[in-house]
Amino acid sequence: DQFIRENTKRGKRKNQKPENLVVKDHLQWYEEDGFFMNVYESKAKAQLIRGQEVWRTGGLEVGTPDSGGTCPNGYSCWIEFKAKGSRSRISNDQRAHLTKVIERGGFGLCSDDVNYSKETYHKWLNKSREDKIPFLLNELPKSKAQEDDLPF
């Protein structure tokens, strides 16, 4: 398992959790601006159920974003973190979850940089009610590379 992970196309990473730098910046922003947010650590694991492989994530629905809670204005807020430069690597399940949040009027975003998140959040706040949903849906990455569908 370790050998496979270290010898994939991407090779071995020097920083084993590059996404954590993005998380740290967001936590600081949440604190400074009055967000009420939680960060969820969840890795999907395969289980055999009735002879079929099913993916579970320790009690959370597969695709649940890394961070969820409430914006200072009371709206639901969900952000999926990605390592710098990896925003396009959103899974179909993550995109579907964020789309549901956005379609119900919440703030949903996939971000690899806290400045992008802040900028997008403030633009969203200043949009009219009818423009908020299409604005955020347009901000979601459109697709994910097939090689990233690997479960490790």
Average pLDDT, 10 consecutive residues per value, the chain (152 residues): 45 65 94 94 63 64 90 96 93 94 97 98 96 97 56 48
Q: Residue 49's pLDDT is what?
A: 62
pLDDT of amino acid 1: 42
Residue 142, pLDDT score? 83
C-alpha closest to that of 20 among 103, 64, 81: 81
CA 150 to chain centre: 17
Output the pLDDT for position 57.
57
pTM for the model stands at 0.76
Where residue 87 falls (left for φ over 0; alpha for ψ -120 to 50; beta otherwise) is alpha
